[in-house]
Amino acid sequence: MRRARPDELPALARLAAATFPLACPPGSTEQDQQAFVAAHLSTERFDEYLADPRREVLVATDGTRLLGYTMTVAGEPDDADVRAAIRLRPTVELSKCYVDAAAHGTGVSRALMSAVLQRAAATGAAGVWLGVNQLNARAQAFYRRSGFDVVGTKHFQVGGRLEDDFVLERPLP
């Protein structure tokens, strides 16, 4: 696990485009998914993310290719529903946590999560929160195993669809 590098932006955008649809609910369309990818997961957007001092993008690699990535955002959430739901401050958002389908079940997700939690704790954060689609049972199970609990709900825009997410939070040591 390490910070993403600027020379990896095209590979990171490709990985994001391949993995984002895996987390989408069954009713979301390819058109809505692609609109989200274009707006939020492009090479240009990842370049902005790497330059943002509040954000940290970590990658998991096998030495030749990216297997997964996370993005955290430090600070108070912008979303009013999230601000009302979370209990721990200061906080870090786990904004993105995606692993290539071929690497599912290999421990990459656990290693990324461990790195995120360690790094968030090192900043002095009291907790980490995230949003997960209410129909994404696989991700919810992973987050529960990682110590997260449902503390509220929020909406998440994917293309033309407004999705319902659970807000999950976990304390840091």
pLDDT digits (tens, 9 = 90+) for 60-116: 999 999 999 999 999 999 999 999 999 999 999 999 999 999 999 999 999 999 999
How high does pLDDT run on average in the chain? Answer: 95
Q: Look up the CATH number of domain 2-171.
A: 3.40.630.30
User: pLDDT band at 161, cuts 50/70/90?
Assistant: confident
Residue predicted with more confidence, 134 or 160: 134
The predicted pLDDT at position 25 comes to 81
Residues 98 and 41 sit within 8 Å (Cβ to Cβ): no
Q: What burial letters (b/e) apply to 56-72, b meaning 16+ CB within 10 Å? A: bbbbbbeeeebbbbbbb
Q: Which two tokens stand for residue 131?
A: 């949003």
Residue 3 confidence (pLDDT) above 80: yes
